[in-house]
Structure 1
């Protein structure tokens, strides 16, 4: 399967079908939708943009994307593939220094309105960025025949088509080079587990700078004749500082999605809303604006099994998976008919797995990356037999389901010699009422420590009691946190301590605690 050819085929078979649908919110807060682009219009405009890009920068050059979750992102992604150019997405949440690092080899930067504003903010801090910037607006280019000067990419030839930057142990993100055939293999494998109508209306809530969202929001719908449903232009995605999952539940209802990829926080918010609905009829329409639950996938961080069980009992299955950019995103996934809650599913059809003697999960597949454009101590290695050493600790049961139990490099070894993987423990503590996020630490210490982001500091005494009660009822004495540190939820704290996907920035914890102690003193 070739993603680009599959999209072109859909445009030929269903030229007037909606490719991009965008929600609008009126002054009363009500949502309506607008078809922003048909398949044929998107293909024609992408071809013209691709020809213009080739004329400006040639072929196989790097081009940055600094955009929000907008239709212009879709246009840019398709055009860069048509032009055989390497896409370098820049998360808007990154600092100016990080953005400059990502864009240093880019010949051109494509922006939308949100991206142009962010570029201006970075430049105002003295950050030097590429001078060649091209603002895009979908629909601004008249539709004509395919430009004669476009030299379309040869899908039969492999090559690097994206450089995805992920957080490492330093301030400079590591660049993962994604192969054309690697993405093709991944999407083909996902289609072996999905049904043809699953992606007819995919709701895009997660930043498109994440590779998994590019796969599920763009390539799965556009290779099957479906549409990507996008939020209003001025609505920031999940992971943006200050945005909570509960704030996006009304968008889900209005969008009537057939598929979504959820963050752990959004899974928990859906579960709370479902429980509050009680035994009244009409749960699915109340949550999703439709009679049946959409295909819901979750990843990025562990989701508490009790939350998943609660939703599953209401006929709202959430299929948890696991992946990493080095495998072009997804590697294992629970699926219909093979959903074992508490695991991250079985390997995709094109993926082999093995558990090393030290418990590390190793992968071998046709969607592995082409290497790093910038190295980091957290970089994964591929051994002589082609196995990618992920750095994640895992188990595999007799039926082939994988469970992730922690990271080799985040493993906590207490002063008493006990080994603890913090990831699953953090997931457990997040179920305590009033707790939004948790970071567990304590390497070399006698007792574990925990930093808890809470909804309301006025409830701090009650939340402390709830944390202790939960540990007493559900955890062993080693996992008990005797002196939890509580901090209020705020955009500043979330940006400092967590990535846009909700992963803890563990290297930032000590400095944060030191500053907290100084302020308290």
Structure 2
């Protein structure tokens, strides 16, 4: 068969690794796995369940719930049935669920539990396309004619396996394979249509970047599977290389899952790495005397060795010896305590990550490689490679093999290649805006250095235009503010205003520890009011301002005791800041920072 789809690769892996673990999940405190052979059979049965309900090819199957093997079984099973899986963020509201289900006319909705079912039930009168609701957790049964348990749905497909094989054979490489809805931070989400060729090409290109993956590798799945980045690692790369995936259904249990899984490759959005950093800093601050000196020495060696490896294949003789000592005395112990003792590659994407975070992990012998991309490019567009001369700290790397990337006259990043999406579902106007002569207009502003490494400056739509007509990209300034010890998030304000201000949040892990070190109150509400803390923050922001042009300096700021969160609707499920929500939610605090200026006019 000349066709090379993700389904073809998945079935090949299920034969090659038939008795080996494909997916690990925690069942009432006990980790259990399903092997590749059973995994593939369940996917076939899911496809058969669709056929049993007369779901036609190209129909959509919406999936709503936390990460689990069943989520992927539904996704792969839908593709096997020539249907189009469509993920919905587990944190979405009933109205947001209704929008996506209606927009894609989903024939089947897979829900994790009763709580997710209730979202559907609240708006079911608006959702006439749904023929069945499949409940993953059988223990949370719902007495409703539309509802069928996951196991019963699979069993109904057993009589249709021949028909499933026929549908698999009928898959065309240019067919739409999956629908990825954007997070919708500024408007209703758009459905990104990715073809089988998009996914297969991007998977192959990603492997060339990371240097190959093996069945002996393993990863932790914890970011929303509705997001293309998590799908790439959990579904498409796993299908291609047959490595097992450990499912973490609750991000609050991520550290526990890592400790058990001991992943060899780990993908984290910047906020996850930042929280790891804050927790490690707290623990390392407890070291005293000789241990503190040893840690300081080892971290300096880690940074030196890390930069040396970016430039050369091997460490020089003296550095190699010092690194070996630091590794034995410090690095191995820290990584083992985290569950990262087998880590080969750490990755970050989805939002800017501060250079200080990258260098922090470099100092612990855990280099993080930045990747850049978007759903419309099937995930990655550029990436740093774990090879000498092909990684640069602070950049998002080099273009993927066979992907063209260029900068438009206005600074926008454009990309072209087989990874670029087919278009937005039911939205020809948006497709025409995003795809011009085959080039994807990313909406991001970037620049190349002399060696071809790309740096992202910010989003075109997020450019702040002050009352004086100055254009300011907020990302760089926000990153500098987030470097202040104890600060969690920062959002720059100033569009149409005479000067810039900022909303800052406290880091719930690091701020209390810092307060104890400085003799300030450690309770967050009290800390933001403390005069010592206010003076410290003013000095830190003055230091930031000293490195900025006067028009870019932050004149006023407000500190929020609570960090931004998904639950508070300030962050997307992939932990990106929702600027418009924050502008509205904290309008009173923002207005107060400009009140004196208004009175003076």
Superposition TM-score, scaled by structure 2 size: 0.77
For 2:199, the equivalent position in structure 1 comes to 183
| 2:538 alignment partner in structure 1 | 468
Equivalent-residue separation in structure 1 for 2:215 and 2:477 (angstroms): 33
Is the Cα contact below 8 Å between 1:95 and 1:122 reproduced in 2? no
2:209–2:384: 8 Å Cα contact kept in structure 1?
Answer: no
- Single out whichever of 393-402 and 161-170 deviates more from structure 2: 161-170
Q: Which runs of 5+ in 2 are unaligned?
A: 138-149, 285-291, 296-328, 509-523, 596-601
Q: State whether structure 2 residue 573 is matched by structure 1 residue 500.
A: yes
Could you give the per-residue CA deviations for residues 371-417 of structure 1, whole angstroms, max 9, x where no partner exists?
A: 11254998783455311111110001121110000111111122233
Task: Please point out which of 419, 422, 432 is paired with 2:474.
Answer: 422
Which digits, 9 at most, give the CA deviation of each residue in 1:280-302, with x for residues without a partner?
63111011253x43421111111
Structure 1 residues 375 and 222, CA gap change in structure 2 (3 angstroms): same
Q: How far apart are residue 109 of structure 1 and its match?
A: 3.0
1:240 corresponds to: none
Q: Deviations over 1:425-469 (max 9, x none)?
A: 222222222222111120121111211222323211455444433
Corresponding residue number in structure 1 for 2:162: 148
- Give the Cα–Cα distance (whole angstroms) in 2 for the partners of residues 452 and 490 of structure 1: 8
1:434 aligns with 2:486: yes
- 1:83 CA drift (Å): 0.6
Aligned counterpart, 2:228: 211
Tell me which residue corresponds to 2:424: 372
Q: Distance in 1 between matches of 2:90 and 2:432?
A: 25
CA contact (8 A) 1:170 1:376 kept: no
Q: Secondary structure at the match of 2:569?
A: helix
Aligned mate of 1:359, from 397, 400, 411: 411
Mapped contact 2:464–2:474 kept (Cα < 8 A) = yes
Residue 287 in structure 1 maps to residue 338 in structure 2: yes
| Match of residue 272 from structure 2 | 266
Per mean C-alpha deviation after superposition, the further-off stretch among 384-393 and 504-513 is 504-513
Q: Which aligned pairs between 1:286-365 and structure 2 lie closer than 5 A?
A: 286-288=337-339, 290=341, 292-337=342-387, 338-365=390-417
- The structure-2 alpha-carbon separation of the partners of 1:128 and 1:297, relative to structure 1 and needing over 3 Å to count, comes to same
Which secondary structure does the structure 1 equivalent of 2:40 belong to? helix
Q: Does 1:458 align with 2:526?
A: yes
1:446 matched residue in structure 2? 498
Structure possessing the higher radius of gyration over alpha carbons: 2
Q: Which moved more, 1:192-201 or 1:443-452?
A: 192-201
Aligned residue-pair number: 502
Q: Distance in 2 between matches of 1:224 and 1:307?
A: 30
Aligned to 1:47: 44
| Alignment partners' CA distance in 2, 1:283 and 1:152 | 50
TM-score by length of 1: 0.88
Tell me the distance in 2 between the aligned counterparts of 1:413 and 1:145.
62
CA–CA separation in structure 1 for the residues paired with 2:533 and 2:267: 30
> Which residue of the partner structure matches residue 29 of structure 1?
none
Does the Cα contact within 8 Å between 1:76 and 1:110 map onto a contact in 2?
A: no
- Rounded to whole Å, the distance in 2 between the matches of 1:342 and 1:199 is 30
Preserved contact between residue 489 and residue 563 of structure 2 (Cα < 8 Å): no
TM superposition shift of 1:492: 6.7
Selected match of 2:464 from 391, 403, 412: 412
- CA pair 121-3 structure 1, distance change in 2 beyond 3 A: closer
Q: Deviations over 1:73-119 (max 9, x none)?
A: 011111011111011111121222121110014343332433x4223
- Whole-angstrom distance in 1 between the partners of 2:428 and 2:535: 41
Q: Which moved more, 1:279-288 or 1:507-516?
A: 507-516
Partner of 2:262: 256
CA–CA distance in structure 2, aligned partners of residues 347 and 466 of structure 1? 42
**Residues 356 and 362 in structure 1, CA contact (< 8 A), matched pair in contact too:** yes
Contact 1:20 1:228 in 2 (8 A): yes
Is 2:100 the counterpart of 1:94?
A: no
- TM superposition shift of 1:149: 2.3
Alignment correspondent of 2:12: 9
Q: Take 1:261 and 1:433, find their aligned partners in 2: how far apart are those partners?
A: 24
Conserved in 1, the CA contact under 8 Å of 2:94 and 2:122?
A: no
Match of 2:60? 62
**2:31 paired residue number:** 33
**Structure 1 residue 353 displacement after superposition:** 0.5
